[in-house]
């Protein structure tokens, strides 16, 4: 539902042939990924969007896309256990409203398309709206190779990394999330953490080490070069935040 910015991610995805997307929506990002990766697996919760988008892209001639239907937090938990190659994960699954939202009182007026959540009534909880924490945890626990996580909608988080409520529309809720939890999940596997001006986040991570020597090298890199890059990026963002007076 966000914008997949190939120019922003390109230098991080060299030698990566597989892309996994959560939140297919209408397939705009899916199409870009299919044009630039050998294989794409995309997950959509809403049956109508899944059916219509898969039909549209197949009719356009795309044969390298696998369309998966379901709760991305659950699907990706299963999927990551079987993936063996470096992968780029574009995580953009979240509820973007439906006919129950008071759009007139909201800053953003929506996509004019109903989107799904995992709740059972018209007022879904934060956890039912955004599966991002479950997705990242599944990647950290199950996916053994190296890869990249590309997250959209960073504007739904405060400067300190806490999820916000009612940012785009009344009822939108990211409050159960905190970006710090993602650093905890991935731990010493982290090799880069880049906040983009486009309100997106790129996380680069190493494979799960198999030997004591690999564990030592990974920990050494994490405690030196990774932390230096992270704090340099954070300091730049803090200065920009001060200058803008936000």
Domain boundary assignment for the chain: 6-244
Which residues are CB-neighbours of 127 under 8 A, at least 6 positions away? 176
Which residues are CB-neighbours of 144 under 8 A, at least 6 positions away? 84, 207, 208
Instruction: Indicate whether this model's pTM tops 0.85.
Output: yes
CATH superfamily of 6-244: Vaccinia Virus protein VP39 (3.40.50.150)
Spatial separation of the C-alpha atoms in residues 236 and 166, rounded to whole Å: 27
Mean pLDDT, the chain cut into blocks of 10 residues (246 residues total):
86 96 97 97 98 98 98 98 98 95 90 94 95 98 98 93 95 97 97 90 97 97 91 69 58
The sheet carrying 190-196 orders its strands as 65-69, 39-44, 18-22, 87-91, 147-151, 200-205, 190-196
pLDDT on residue 115? 96
Instruction: Name the burial class of residue 125, with classes exposed (0-12), middle (13-18) and buried (19+) by CB atoms within 10 angstroms of its CB.
Output: middle
Which residues are CB-neighbours of 61 under 8 A, at least 6 positions away? none
Spatial separation of the C-alpha atoms in residues 30 and 33, rounded to whole Å: 5
Give the CA angle between residues 120, 122, 125 to the nearest 5°: 70
Which stretches within 107-226 are classed as H helix? 126-129, 132-142, 179-186, 212-221
pLDDT on residue 237? 63
pLDDT on residue 122? 86
Residue 126: strand, helix, or coil = helix
């Amino acid at each position: 539902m966000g914008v997949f910015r190939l120019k922003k991610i390109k230098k991080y995805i060299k030698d990566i042939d597989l892309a996994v997307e959560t939140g297919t929506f209408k397939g705009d990002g899916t199409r870009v990924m299919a044009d630039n990766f050998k294989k794409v697996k995309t997950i959509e919760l809403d049956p109508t969007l899944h059916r219509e988008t898969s039909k549209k892209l197949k009719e356009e001639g795309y044969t390298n896309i696998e369309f998966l239907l379901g709760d991305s937090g659950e699907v990706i938990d299963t999927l990551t256990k079987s993936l063996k190659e470096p992968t780029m994960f574009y995580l953009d699954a979240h509820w973007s409203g439906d006919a129950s939202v008071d759009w007139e009182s909201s800053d953003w007026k929506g996509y004019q398309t109903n989107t799904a959540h995992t709740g059972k009534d018209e007022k879904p909880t934060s956890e039912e709206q955004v599966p991002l924490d479950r997705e990242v945890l599944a990647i950290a626990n199950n996916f053994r190779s190296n890869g990249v996580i590309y997250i959209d909608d960073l504007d739904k988080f405060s400067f300190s990394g806490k999820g916000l409520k009612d940012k785009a529309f009344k009822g939108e809720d990211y409050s159960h999330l905190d970006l710090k939890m993602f650093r905890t999940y991935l731990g010493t596997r982290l090799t880069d953490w880049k906040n983009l001006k486009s309100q997106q986040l790129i996380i680069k991570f190493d494979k799960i080490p198999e030997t004591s020597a690999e564990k030592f090298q990974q920990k050494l890199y994490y405690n030196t070069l990774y932390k230096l890059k992270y704090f340099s990026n954070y300091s730049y963002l803090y200065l920009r935040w001060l200058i803008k007076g936000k």
